[in-house]
Structure 1
Amino acid sequence: MRVFIQFLILGVSGLILAGCDASTDQRAADNRGFVFCGPGQPTTFNPQLTDGGLTADTLSSQLYDRLLRLNPKTYQPEPMLAKSWEVSEDGKTYTFSLRRGVAFHRSVQFTPSRYLNADDVVFSFRRLIDNNHPYHPVSGGQYPWFDSMDFSGLLKDVKALDTYRVQFTLSRPDVSFLSTLATNFSVILSKEYADQLLTAGTPEKIDTYPVGTGPFALAEFQPREFIRLRRHWQYWQGPAPMEQVVFDVSTRGTGTLAKMLTGECDVLASPVASQLPVVVDDKRFHLSSQTGMNVAFISLNTRHPALSEVEVRQAINLAIDRNALLSSVYYGTGAPATSLLPPMSWAYDPNSQTEYNPKLAAALLAKAGYRQGFSVDLTVPMKPTAFNPSPRKTAELIQADLGAIGIRVNIIPEKTVNRVAIREGDDAHDMVLTGWVADNGDPDTFLRPLLTCNAKFTGWNMSNWCNRYFDQKLNEAIATEDTEARKALYIEAQTILNRRMPVVPLAHGIQHQVRDASLKGLTMTPFGADSFADVSRGR
């Protein structure tokens, strides 16, 4: 693997970089490719089947396009595969006009006979919402991100009006719908490819041998080693400067920081905060930072005897020293969370506050009848994330803080939180250290999937909390296009959360990315990696 990547960087491997010879000029050699190093192993190449990770956060924007994309400055939806759209007066019908001449990838498995059309859009979304669709159960039949927001309950129907017009019909008005279509999850697949695979009896290949319209296509995948993408020459926005991109997903050998320092990586995605001092003053590298649309929090199971008491939940919130957390875990690169919504959200409540007051916390415990404290389990996924660079260390700090007021915390390491068990009503968890990364700029994407009554049935509402007044505020907010009215409603919803405290917000992480200084056009967004379609090298 190391030899493979070194040859890619040097631009001398005839196997990896086809067409390389001694007469090629330096710029052409530089633009043959770059190596992207980051955490995670893909379990699928279809982001519809995931709730995050490498596939949704990074690969999606390379392999696929969406109807809409988010403007990098305003975070508002703008045209992508859809060149325009109309919305009915009742806010329930959206009609999109598609671009013409958009080509799908060619591969060993598939040679497209036509350009993208309305049938592809209908297929991509009907698979998600129609239990009787032949592709709905393929690859497990779970669509976690869409399930978290009750997408099948929102999208009533999608149909082709003609070759290049598609109509979506909603069950209720939802002004966040356009933002949903702009996320990295809402990708457009090829119906022609799907039909071919279904006839061959291999429908699952649509998710493991992907075909999209993005700037790059899958060329090779060696599990736990590397993913190689090749340039899509017929990309509708013009071919990318780079011939290929290699994702180093190996887990053996030196760590990613060491690979960056030795030149085996051109890009280091999501370096942990403790690694930043090593690269920040090195002129070979460029460090980019982006305030993240994310939050780390503790989910409190409101069915637990002690945690069912509001005073106990408020006591837990008051007992946690967030400044110590930011210093020890985030190394000063995060911000304390006073709400689930980060400060960069347009609906953030500037009056929300978080107090560290262990004395008041102990008094609230006594008031709730727990003067002697109690024991509780804290489930802790071990994987570092943008919102929590060291979950284990965070858990230990929480354990110490709560221990100081008499709450004895047992840390339960877990690779992943079992949302299926939670969805089916399993109350085995007491508290869960978790977090959320928004996939668009709308505040609804934070609050609805995590805390509404319907979210209890998706496994994302790990607090098992249901407040009809809170749900009412969110439903009113997505039914109006008046931004100021929406903001007022979201602030009311945040006030309810601050009083009832089903979750304890901890911190908002800052996203970092280190790249070789010669790379140009590599951008970051709060929602995941942007397209590599404009990445090149400059000397």
Structure 2
Amino acid sequence: MRVFFQFLILGVSGLLLAGCDAASDQRAADNRGFVFCGPGQPNTFNPQLTDGGLTADTLSSQLYDRLLRLNPETYQPEAMLAKSWQVSDDGKTYTFSLRRGVAFHRSVQFTPSRYLNADDVVFSFRRLINPRHPFHHISGGQYPWFDSMNFAGLVTSVKALDTYRVQFTLSRPDVSFLSTLATNFSVILSKEYANQLLEAGTPEKLDTYPVGTGPFALAEYQPRELIRLRRHWQYWQGPAPMEQVVFDVSTRGTGTLAKMLTGECDVLASPVASQLPVVVGDERFSLSSQTGMNVAFIALNTRHPALSEVAVRQAINLAIDRGALLSSVYYGTGAPATSLLPPMSWAYDPNRKTQYDPKLAAALLAKAGYRHGFSVDLTVPLKPTAFNPSPRKTAELIQADLGEIGIDVDIIPEKTVNRTSIRQGDDSHDMVLTGWVADNGDPDTFLRPLLTCNAKFTGWNISNWCNRFFDQTLNQAIATDKIAKRKALYQEAQTILDRRMPVIPLAHGIQHQVRDASLTGLTMTPFGADSFADVSRER
């Protein structure tokens, strides 16, 4: 359905769209905003309802704020809407003191009568954890990122102690909880706006006509064309230098790289590695790169007759030539994955090595009773990602490698993995080429959502793997705040994965971003785009 969000914006119509012919108009557009080009279409403007994509990765930091944010250098939680917090001695009660004078967006849909307070925080999180909450089932009632970590099982209550203090009570100690609140998913919504929509009989507008406290507000949305954000003049950290930001989400016409070269885009998010030589050395552009908190891997369905054998899974791991993957798919911009944790993680073990040994792989297959091999399907996504710039090519290389040891791989292109069917116990998939992008700096965010027993019921544990010792190790790791002990426990968990091999780590991708050289203040993070509140243009 074609949806338009109409707001009164003085003199901005058309300035940032391709095709501005007058030089004066173009100069005005340059001084008043910029065009961001990147993959993806939003299905919602509320990141609580997503597990990634444009809404969570980029729009969230523009439209909303969180209680905490991740420090761009240390990746540790720091103050945002919460100016301070206290943790009880048993590690199960967190009390936050909120900033005062934080204004919500104004629009033709809503005019706030008060500043942000504890009621807004309570509303935002009770919606997630309480099935009887009036908004819990609105917009589908699915909260995939929070479900992946069993957030509703962790948080037993959220209550307002007074106007500016909020208390969270947990079912168990979890030192990663602060990092969870700092992710782009843990946004704060307006309870006053929600109540107004509920009374009007249009509660779904909470997620399609967003109101937050971020540096920009939604001004216009034309599906498959553009998203326009306008400056939030009452932003608590001061108004942004840029009057507006336009997201070009059109799929017609020339590609995003061509638009960058012709000046139709000011920022190109996540260019594929093969595009980089075109912009490197061009004085019109600046290229930013950093190792991502991500991993590409193969999930092996441990209920499959052959893949249920540990020796077979070990053989597949040994048969894959990661060097060829890095050369042919990542063009030398990636790093081989020795575990799910990337080198940026503080729990990463630099002593782990990858091994490529087709002869040993064939011997393990024979030992497991598959001397003549077997056939499997490999489900492959269609779109490139930060952790895998060319899934199809990756699949073809894996197909060739496994063919050398007698495993016949049938590549099945698929846009997305049906997590609902996996959650219901559907074993129709054999192997899935997939990956993960961390949402905070804690190692738990790589391991718990993907491989714990509970993750089988959320649809994220594609391997259908459950190991109580693995789960116990992770639970011990989040119950202590001693980093050395936590690191040892996470490395023990990785050793369990090495021995059981429910997933095959392949590579860690490097994130890239190309911008017009005149733009300043545009920063990258391993967890998605940072706020555009400090972006300006210098000529």
Smaller-chain TM-score bracket: over 0.9
Alignment match, 1:392: 392
SS at the partner of 1:529?
coil
State the 1:218 CA deviation: 0.1
| Separation in structure 1 between the aligned mates of residue 352 and residue 185 of structure 2, nearest angstrom | 31
Matching residue of 1:514: 514
Task: Tell me whether 345-354 or 497-506 shows the greater mean CA deviation.
Answer: 345-354
Tell me if the contact between 1:289 and 1:513 (Cα under 8 Å) persists in the aligned partners.
yes
**CA distance in 2 between partners of 1:392 and 1:502 (Å):** 22
One-letter amino acid of the structure 2 residue matched with residue 447 of structure 1? L
| Equivalent residue number for residue 156 of structure 1 | 156
Per-residue CA distance 1:405-433 (angstroms, 9 max, x = gap): 00000001100000000000000000000
Cα offset for 1:16? 3.5
What is the Cα deviation at residue 28 of structure 1?
Answer: 7.3
d(CA) in 2 for partners of 1:533 and 1:251?
A: 27
What is aligned with 2:311? 311
Report the counterpart of residue 504 of structure 1 in structure 2.
Answer: 504
Q: Deviations over 1:444-467 (max 9, x none)?
A: 000000000110000000011111
Report Cα offsets for 1:196-215 as digits up to 9, x if no partner.
Answer: 00000000000000000000
Counterpart code for 1:109: Q
The residue correspondences of 1:204-353 to structure 2 (distance < 5 A) are 204-353=204-353
Name the amino acid aligned to 1:383. K
Q: Which amino acid aligns with 1:444?
A: D
1:486 is aligned to 486
Q: Distance in 2 between matches of 1:26 and 1:417?
A: 43
Equivalent residue for 1:175? 175
Query: In the alignment, residue 306 of structure 2 is paired with which amino acid?
Result: A
Residue 25 of structure 1 and its aligned partner are, at CA, apart by: 12
Determine the structure 2 residue equivalent to 1:495: 495
RMSD of aligned residue pairs (Cα, Å): 1.7
Report deviation, 1:538: 1.1
Matches of 2:129 and 2:510, distance apart in 1: 34
**In the aligned structure 2, how far is the partner of 1:441 from the partner of 1:61?**
17
The residue number in structure 1 matching 2:57 is 57
From 13, 16, 32, the counterpart of 1:15:
13
Deviation, 1:31, is: 3.1
**Counterpart position of 1:458:** 458
Structure 2 contact 291–509 (Cα < 8 Å) conserved: yes
Report how far residue 32 of structure 1 moved. 0.4
Q: Give CA deviations for 1:369-405 in whole Å, capped at 9, x if unaligned.
A: 0000000001111111000011111000000000000
Q: Which runs of 4+ in 1 moved over 4 A?
A: 24-29
Task: In structure 2, give the amino acid aligned to 1:460.
Answer: W
> Against the structure 1 CA distance between its residues 313 and 14, is the aligned structure 2 distance closer, same or farther, given a 3 Å change threshold?
closer
User: Aligned-pair distance for 1:353?
Assistant: 1.3
Aligned mates of 2:454, 2:507 — CA distance in 1: 26
Q: Does the CA-based 8 Å contact 2:521-2:534 persist in structure 1? A: yes
Describe the superposition over 1:224-247 as per-residue Cα deviations: whole angstroms up to 9, x where unpaired. Answer: 000000000000000000000000
Instruction: Answer yes or no: is the 8 Å Cα contact 2:15–2:26 preserved in 1.
Output: no
Q: SS where residue 408 of structure 1 aligns?
A: strand
- Whole-angstrom CA distance in 2 between matches of 1:359 and 1:390: 28
Q: Distance in 1 between matches of 2:509 and 2:325?
A: 12
Query: In structure 1, how many angstroms separate the alpha carbons of the residues matched to 2:412 and 2:145?
Result: 25
| In 2, Cα distance between equivalents of 1:67 and 1:275 | 38
Offset from partner CA, 1:241-300 (integer Å, 9 cap, x none):
000000000000000000000000000000000000000111100000011000000000
Q: Structure 2 matches for 1:42-81, cutoff 5 A?
A: 42-81=42-81
Q: Distance in 2 between matches of 1:14 and 1:484?
A: 54
Listed one character per residue, the Cα deviations across residues 339-394 of structure 1 (whole Å, up to 9, x for unaligned) are 00001100011221110000000000000000000000011111110000111110
In structure 2, the gaps of 5 or more residues are 1-9
Per-residue deviation at 1:15? Answer: 2.6
Contact 1:349 1:494 in 2 (8 A): no
Number of residue pairs aligned between Structure 1 and Structure 2: 526
Determine whether 1:471 maps to 2:448. no
Displacement of 1:27 = 9.1
Task: For 1:294 and 1:411, locate their aligned partners in 2 and report how far apart those are by CA, in whole Å.
Answer: 23
**Structure 2 residue identity aligned to 1:132:** R
Q: Which piece of structure 1 moves more, 344-353 or 93-102?
A: 344-353
Q: Match for residue 131 of structure 1?
A: 131
Secondary structure of residue in 1 paired with 2:199: helix
Q: Distance in 2 between matches of 1:404 and 1:214?
A: 53
Change (3 A) 1:160 1:27: farther
| 1:499–1:270 distance in 2 versus 1, CA, 3 Å | same
User: What is the TM-score normalised by the length of structure 2?
Assistant: 0.96
Alpha-carbon contact 1:155-1:169 (below 8 Å) kept? yes
Superposed counterparts of 1:66-105, under 5 Å: 66-105=66-105
CA displacement 1:67-113 (0-9 Å, x = unmatched): 00000000000000000000000000000000000000001110000
- Over residues 278-335 of structure 1, what are the superposed CA-to-partner deviations in whole Å (9 max), with x where a residue is unaligned? 0011110000001100000000000000000000000000000000001111011100
Separation (CA, whole Å) in 2 of partners of 1:315 and 1:369:
12
Q: One-letter code of the match for 1:379?
A: T
User: For the structure 1 residues 66 and 364, does the alpha-carbon distance in structure 2 shift closer, same or farther, using more than 3 Å as the test?
Assistant: same
Structure 1 residue 30 displacement after superposition:
3.6
Is the partner of 2:506 in helix, strand or coil?
strand
- The 1:14/1:229 distance shift into structure 2, 3 A limit, reads closer
Aligned residue in 1 for 2:413: 413
**Structure 1: runs of 5+ lacking an equivalent:** 1-11
1:124-144 deviation line (CA, Å, top 9, x unaligned): 000000000010000000000
Provide the secondary structure at the position in 2 that maps to 1:342.
coil
**8 A contact 1:27–1:537 mirrored in 2:** no
Amino acid at match of 2:140: G
| 1:500–1:14 Cα change, 3 Å | closer
Please give the secondary structure, in 2, of the residue aligned with 1:258.
Answer: helix
Letter in 2 for 1:15: S
Q: CA deviation at 1:173?
A: 0.2
Residue 3 of structure 2 corresponds to none
Q: 1:536 to 1:316 in 2, by over 3 A?
A: same
| 2:51 counterpart SS class | coil
Deviation digits for residues 469-496 of structure 1, max 9, x if unmatched?
1111100000000000000000000000
8 A Cα contact 1:128 1:143, kept in partner: yes
**Aligned: 1:534 with 2:534:** yes
CA distance in 2, matches of 1:477, 1:73: 23
Whether the 8 Å CA contact 2:15–2:29 is kept in 1: the answer is no
Amino acid paired to 2:456: K
Distance 1:13 1:122 in 2: 38
TM-score, normalising length from structure 1?
0.96
Tell me if the contact between 2:518 and 2:537 (Cα under 8 Å) persists in the aligned partners: yes
